[in-house]
């Protein structure tokens, strides 16, 4: 059982709850998720099984698309609807134009302070556990990237916002920071992840359906192959001799070295160009990494 389930996570479950549910039925297989969703959030949660767990890092680095429901005029200590109200203020002076201008300031590379109630770890402990224990924690600001942010609907005091962003972006922090910028406070009431890379909510499957498929043995109808996470990279088909070499950890050198014809794609966050390697039979063998000085490709991950 190797691949990726595109789960439509329901509200109220943690990402680890979903992992545990799949692990219980996918007996003997490694199971993990690619990108945490808060319990209050719904939508695309990628659950990787077997060799699928080896591509989690590439799924984590993919862009995410969210639909966020932000309530202006109220701030909470967790930046969402589950927290304690710490401030209220009127929103009568906030027009759609002012709201759109404020949102535009979050587009691009921005510095963001994660919520104190988050899964980020400090000395091995999640910040939310330390905060709930009464400890004063100060999360460090970090740089994240917001590719697109758009106001979809404004029905005071609720703004519906679409956000496309990179890894590590906290939508709760955007909601809180927006409220601070407008001077009225704000919190995140609802959040749906509409897409994670090439996986979309339209193609996602409800958790009970996946549990049923696992229990009755037709899970292969719902699971995506491992290389679905790698399709943004170029691909090469290796002959038997090259396949054996790569499987044993040796580098592969194409007969002709014309990198301009490879149309190499360098994924943001990686340290070099990557390429999928397949056997003649179409089996994913490995993910290769470009070693340009030596004019060769060396195995980065071997799937066998």
Closest CA to 118 of 24, 5, 39, 10: 39
Which residues are CB-neighbours of 253 under 8 A, at least 6 positions away? Answer: 295, 296, 297
Cα–Cα distance list, 223 to 1, 3, 65 (Å):
9, 6, 22
Beta strands in the chain (DSSP E): 3-9, 31-33, 42-49, 64-72, 74-76, 85-88, 108-112, 121-122, 125-126, 142-155, 158-165, 186-196, 199-200, 205-206, 234-237, 274-278, 284-291, 296-302
**Maximum alpha-carbon separation in the chain:** 71
Question: Phi and psi at residue 212, in whole multiples of 5°?
Answer: -65, -40
Q: Point out the catalytic residue in the list 17, 38, 77, 220.
A: 38
Around Cβ 58, how many Cβ atoms within 10 Å?
Answer: 20
Based on the residue annotation, tell me whether 291 is a catalytic residue of this protein: no
* Cis? peptide before 157, omega within 30° of 0: yes
Separation between Cα atoms, residue 173 and residue 242, nearest integer Å: 49
Contact 186/205 with Cβ under 8 angstroms? no
Q: Which residues are catalytic?
A: 38
């Amino acid at each position: 059982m190797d691949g990726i389930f595109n789960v439509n996570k329901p509200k109220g479950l943690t990402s680890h709850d979903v992992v545990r549910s799949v692990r219980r039925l996918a007996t003997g297989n490694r199971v993990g998720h690619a990108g945490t969703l808060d319990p209050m959030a719904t939508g695309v949660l990628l659950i990787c099984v077997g060799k699928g767990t080896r591509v989690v890092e590439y799924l984590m680095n993919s862009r995410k698309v969210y639909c966020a429901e932000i309530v202006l005029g109220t701030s909470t200590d967790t930046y969402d609807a589950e927290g304690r109200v710490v401030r209220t203020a009127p929103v009568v002076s906030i027009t759609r134009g002012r709201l759109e201008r404020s949102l535009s300031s979050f587009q691009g590379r921005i510095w963001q302070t994660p919520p104190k109630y988050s899964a980020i770890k400090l000395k091995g402990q999640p910040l939310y556990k330390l905060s709930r224990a009464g400890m004063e924690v100060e999360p460090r600001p970090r740089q994240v990237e917001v590719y697109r942010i758009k106001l979809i609907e404004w029905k005071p005091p609720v703004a519906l916002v679409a956000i496309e962003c990179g890894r590590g972006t906290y939508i709760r922090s955007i909601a809180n920071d927006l409220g601070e910028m407008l001077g009225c406070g704000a919190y995140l009431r609802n959040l749906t992840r509409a897409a994670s890379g090439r996986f979309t909510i339209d193609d996602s499957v409800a958790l009970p359906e996946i549990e049923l498929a696992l229990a009755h043995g037709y899970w292969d109808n719902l699971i995506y192959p491992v290389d679905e996470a790698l399709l943004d990279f170029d691909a090469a088909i290796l002959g038997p001799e090259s396949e054996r070499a790569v499987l044993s950890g040796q580098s592969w050198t194409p007969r002709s070295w014309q990198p301009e014809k490879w149309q190499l794609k360098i994924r943001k966050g990686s340290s070099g160009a990557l390429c999928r390697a397949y056997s003649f039979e179409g089996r994913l063998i490995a993910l290769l990494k470009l070693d340009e000085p030596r004019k060769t490709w060396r195995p980065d991950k071997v799937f066998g």
